[in-house]
């Protein structure tokens, strides 16, 4: 039963419109976003558009793509052109009543709602009687014919907003005859003229196969590139960039960068934590690279750079011995931990026992021994699933069960002397891996058969090795916190001690700005011995208080805070760049449909340049496909794009690593990117990787 006081509060809320506004879920930001109208590419300022096939761009076509996608493999790049007027035949084709479906596939990415808004606006402008259907919960909506006809009210509620809340999303693949048949039936029942699939590499792969299957049915299939990882980038055979990045990348990078910048501020204020920031990027480090440019963290790992690492010293040693050490090619997990330790020790030497490290979630994919484990375990799990009525993870629900199964495989290989994918050496090496990491490597694969790096505590794995090695360096006296000379002088003078007398006894670099306690002084006992040896004190005397205080300040305490940046960034409201990008992609998708295209990816050429140079195009999907390993089998899929370590943007980051490490006295070079905005002029209007690559071309 409500009390009188509660009833009064209820009445107060009901009667007071100002209070209602304060507690409403409609904020000023929300209102402004919904009312904001993204800029249009020049071509869309015209009443109509047409598409023109061009032979300017060629692709290296895989024989398997030619075999399996015969009707769409001949597609060419289509360039959009604007028309202020048109003849009757074009108007009739362009403005006919259409039924168009659209579906989100895979994880959310900022800008997706604007793709729908652009499509919806263009379709309704061409013919108000056209219908746009949003399939609910991803491809399952197509298979099960679960959809909603979009209206002004529905679309207007989500303009310029993040997430995929309008129609939700899912990860199902239409990858079987049954699913394909049900999808075709849905298209027939709704009398769809076209279906737009908004998704990543797997989803656009799906779009290509759907386009082939529905080619004779007359249902047009258009893909739209979506992923915050930034691994959908399209170039022709000559390297000409046709699609520089997928929508959502810019917003996610800015969102992560703003949070990581705040950690840089906190770290340099509290001066006691190393913040370890893992950012999304399963097989490519584009986000980590962009975040590095946005924030200047002290250490940034780029997986593609690690894969190219060559240990020159080991190669030279092997050469002297008349052999070749193939393990010298590529970074090992142990060596990577040493690289991180080196940076931590060097910062410590100038009194900076804090910092920020950025790690891409998929960094382990670029580490030799881990990649071998992943490939072998993927194959073992896929083979088990294909030869049993149940699946691997159901039959072996706990870690010990999984390990026992691997032991049996190794035992079989040892006793029978036959080749098996998992041998005794693999088993021995795997047993040396921490249990939580074993669990991660054996975790259930995603619906596409991919290893789920986000489920593995990459940062914990690396930091475990780092802490172990720092402990060794500390015991050897090689990991110390530098003491400022002024602090040392003041502390000793306050205790009536002579800094010039005691300094050379304590430090191996006395006279420099930051003083490092000698390697040989690793404890109170060794400190006492050093003072006695240099006749500062006598046997049995106590260590002077100021001297002991200085020594204790030099003892490092390595403390970490682990952070993961993924879901927060992909759920962010889109930046101005992604608002405009997404909306124009929706307009492009409709233009391709209106001009009879299928098996094409809606894209914007020249994204890396100023907005007035953007060129909407359609890219044929089939020629982009390659054979890759999925679920233990070789599959025809859209090829992912990893970081180009020869690109100017990467080499600039590489050149500035030493500066950003901050292993020098004084303030660090941290950069403040600011929060994600959608119309403010001070927001970065495109990724900094784009800016640097373009500036380098001008030189």
Domain boundaries, the chain: 1-35, 42-247+577-630, 249-472+560-569+646-698, 481-554
Tokens of 150: 């979009």
Residue 551's region, left for phi above 0, alpha for psi from -120 to 50, else beta, is alpha
Q: What is the pLDDT of residues 365-416, one digit of tens each?
A: 888 778 888 888 888 988 898 899 888 999 999 999 999 999 999 988 888 8
Q: How confident is the model at residue 305 (pLDDT cuts 50, 70, 90)?
A: very high
CATH match for 249-472+560-569+646-698 among 3.40.1390.10, 3.40.605.10, 3.40.50.460, 3.20.20.70: 3.40.50.460
**Would you state the structure tokens that stand for residue 179, as one six-digit string?**
């699913």
- Enclosing H/E stretch for 430: helix 424-431
Give the percent of the chain with pLDDT over 90. Answer: 76
Per-residue pLDDT, averaged over 621-627, amounts to 95
Q: Rounded to an integer, what distance in angstroms lies between the CA atom of residue 225 and that of residue 319?
A: 47
> What pLDDT band is residue 569 in, cutting at 50, 70 and 90?
very high
Summarize pLDDT for 203-213 with one digit per residue, the tens. Answer: 999 999 999 99
pLDDT band at 2 (very low <50, low <70, confident <90, very high): low
pLDDT at 451: 66
3-state helix, strand and coil shares in percent for the chain, rounded to the nearest 5 = 50, 15, 35
What pLDDT score does 588 carry? Answer: 98
How many angstroms separate the CA atoms of 110 and 42, rounded?
23
Smallest CA-to-CA distance from 671 within 651, 653, 686, 694 is with: 653
- With beta carbons less than 8 A apart as the criterion, state whether 612 and 42 touch: yes
Q: What is the DSSP letter of 510?
A: B
Average pLDDT over residues 659-673: 97
Interval 407-427: pLDDT, tens: 999 988 888 877 778 988 888
Read off the pLDDT of each residue in 6-27 and give the average, rounded to a whole number: 86
Please state, rounded to an integer, the average pLDDT across all residues of the chain: 93
> Which of 250, 114, 108, 119 lies closest to 196, judged by CA?
119
Tens of pLDDT along 524-541?
Answer: 999 999 999 999 999 999
Give 693 or 434, the one with higher predicted confidence. Answer: 693
Q: What is the mean pLDDT of residues 559-567?
A: 95
Can you tell me the distance from the alpha carbon of 165 to that of 135, in angstroms, rounded to the nearest whole number? 12
Segment 243-265 mean pLDDT: 97
What 8-state DSSP symbol labels residue 241?
E
Q: Are 221 and 229 in contact (CB under 8 A)?
A: no
Tokens of 686: 């495109």
The pTM is what?
0.91
Q: For residue 294, which of 664, 580, 598, 649 has the smallest C-alpha distance?
A: 649
The owner of tokens 């959009």 is 80
pLDDT over 80 at 172, yes or no: yes
Give how far Cα 460 sits from Cα of 337, 440, 698, Å.
12, 11, 42
Report angle CA 211, 216, 219 to the nearest 5 degrees: 50
- The rounded percent of the chain whose pLDDT value lies above 70 is 96
Copy the structure tokens of residue 303: 């997986």
Q: Is the alpha carbon torsion for 623, 624, 630, 632 positive or negative? A: positive
Matching residue, tokens 């970074």: 331
Q: Give the pair of three-digit tokens for residue 41.
A: 């590419």
Q: Say if residue 131's pLDDT is above 60.
A: yes
Q: Which tops the pLDDT comparison, 158 or 4?
A: 158
CA–chain centroid gap for 651, Å, is 19
Give yes or no for residue 7 having a pLDDT over 80: no
Q: Is 486 a catalytic residue?
A: no
Question: Is residue 681's pLDDT more than 70?
Answer: no
Catalytic residue among 193, 201, 202, 229: 229
- pLDDT at residue 420, as a whole number: 78
Number of residues that make up the chain? 699
pLDDT tops 80 at residue 446:
no
Contact 160, 579 (CB under 8 A): yes
In Å, what is the CA distance from 127 to each residue of 17, 93, 96, 193?
A: 41, 11, 6, 14
What whole-number distance in Å separates Cα of residue 664 and Cα of residue 347?
A: 7
* Burial category of 398 from C-beta neighbours within 10 Å (exposed 0-12, middle 13-18, buried 19 and up): exposed
Q: What is the mean pLDDT of residues 671-687?
A: 82
pLDDT(682) > 80 = no
Upper half-sphere CA count for residue 521 (Cβ side, 13 Å): 25
Strand partners of residue 243:
234
249-472+560-569+646-698 has the same fold as 42-247+577-630: yes
- Closest-CA residue to 172 (of 162, 158, 182, 185): 182
Q: 457 or 563: which carries more pLDDT confidence?
A: 563
The beta-strand segments (E) located in 172-252 are 194-199, 220-225, 234-235, 241-243
DSSP string across 123-154:
HHHH-TT-EEEEETTTHHHHHTT-EEE--HHH
Task: Please tell me the distance from the alpha carbon of residue 672 to that of residue 259, in angstroms, as a whole number.
Answer: 10
Predicted confidence (pLDDT) per residue in 70-115, tens digit = 999 999 999 999 999 999 999 999 999 999 999 999 999 999 999 9
Q: In CATH, which of 3.40.50.450, 3.40.50.720, 3.40.120.10, 3.30.499.10 is domain 42-247+577-630?
A: 3.40.50.450
């Amino acid at each position: 039963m409500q009390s009188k006081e509660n009833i009064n509060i209820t009445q107060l809320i009901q009667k007071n419109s100002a209070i209602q506004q304060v507690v409403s879920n409609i904020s000023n930001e929300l209102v402004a976003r919904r009312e904001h109208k993204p800029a249009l590419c020049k071509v869309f300022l015209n009443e109509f558009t047409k598409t023109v096939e061009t032979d300017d761009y060629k692709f290296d076509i895989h024989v398997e793509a030619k075999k399996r996608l015969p009707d769409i493999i001949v597609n060419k790049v289509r360039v959009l052109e604007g028309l202020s007027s048109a003849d009757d035949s074009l108007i009739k084709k362009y403005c006919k009543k259409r039924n168009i479906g659209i579906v989100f596939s895979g994880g959310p990415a900022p800008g997706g709602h604007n793709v729908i808004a652009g499509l919806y606006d263009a379709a309704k402008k061409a013919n108000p009687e056209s219908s746009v259907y949003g399939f609910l919960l991803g491809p399952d909506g197509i298979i099960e014919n679960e959809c909603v006809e979009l209206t002004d009210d529905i679309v207007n509620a989500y303009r310029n907003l993040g997430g995929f809340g309008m129609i939700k999303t899912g990860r199902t693949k239409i990858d079987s005859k049954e699913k394909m048949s049900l999808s075709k039936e849905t298209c027939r029942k709704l009398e769809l003229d076209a279906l737009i699939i908004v998704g990543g590499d797997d989803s656009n792969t799906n779009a290509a196969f759907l386009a082939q299957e529905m080619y004779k049915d007359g249902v047009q299939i258009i893909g739209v590139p979506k992923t915050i990882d930034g691994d959908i980038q399209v170039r022709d055979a000559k390297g000409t960039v046709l699609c520089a990045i997928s929508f959502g990348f810019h917003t996610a990078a800015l969102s992560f960068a703003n949070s990581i910048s705040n950690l840089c501020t906190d770290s340099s204020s509290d001066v006691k934590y190393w913040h370890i920031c893992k950012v999304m990027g399963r097989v490519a480090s584009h986000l980590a690279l962009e975040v590095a440019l946005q924030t200047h963290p002290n250490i940034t790992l780029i997986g593609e750079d690690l894969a190219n690492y060559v240990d020159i010293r080991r190669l030279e040693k092997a050469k002297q011995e008349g052999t070749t050490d193939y393990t010298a090619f590529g970074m090992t997990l142990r060596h990577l931990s040493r690289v991180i330790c080196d940076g931590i020790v060097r910062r410590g030497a100038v009194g900076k026992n804090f910092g920020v490290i950025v790690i891409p979630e998929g960094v382990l994919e670029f580490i030799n021994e881990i990649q071998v484990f992943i490939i072998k375990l993927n194959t073992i799990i896929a083979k088990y699933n294909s030869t049993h009525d149940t699946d691997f993870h159901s039959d072996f629900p706990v870690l010990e069960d999984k390990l026992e199964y691997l032991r049996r495989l190794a035992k079989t290989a040892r006793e029978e002397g036959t080749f098996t994918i998992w041998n005794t050496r693999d088993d021995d090496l795997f047993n040396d891996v921490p249990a939580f990491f074993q669990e991660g490597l054996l975790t259930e694969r995603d619906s596409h058969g991919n290893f789920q790096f986000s489920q593995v505590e990459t940062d914990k794995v690396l930091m475990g090795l780092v802490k172990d090695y720092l402990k060794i360096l500390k015991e050897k006296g090689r990991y110390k916190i530098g003491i400022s000379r002024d602090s040392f002088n003041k502390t000793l003078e306050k205790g009536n001690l002579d800094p010039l007398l005691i300094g050379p006894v304590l430090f191996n670099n006395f006279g420099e700005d930051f003083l490092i306690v000698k390697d040989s002084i690793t404890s109170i006992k060794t400190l006492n011995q050093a003072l006695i040896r240099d006749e500062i004190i006598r046997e049995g005397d106590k260590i002077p208080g100021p001297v002991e205080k200085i020594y204790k300040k030099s003892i490092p305490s390595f403390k970490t805070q682990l952070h993961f940046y993924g879901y927060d960034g992909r759920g962010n409201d889109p930046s101005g760049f992604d608002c405009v990008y997404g909306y124009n992609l929706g307009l492009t998708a409709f233009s391709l449909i209106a001009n009879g295209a299928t098996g094409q990816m809606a894209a914007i050429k020249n994204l890396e340049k100023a907005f007035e140079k953007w060129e909407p195009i359609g890219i044929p999907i089939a020629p982009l496909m390659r054979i890759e390993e999925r679920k233990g089998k070789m599959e025809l899929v859209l090829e992912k794009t990893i970081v180009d370590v020869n690109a100017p943007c990467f080499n600039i980051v590489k050149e500035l690593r030493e500066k950003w490490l901050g292993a020098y006295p004084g303030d660090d070079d941290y950069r403040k990117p600011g929060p994600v905005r959608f119309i403010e002029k001070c927001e970065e209007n495109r990724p900094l990787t784009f800016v640097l690559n373009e500036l380098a071309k001008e030189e």
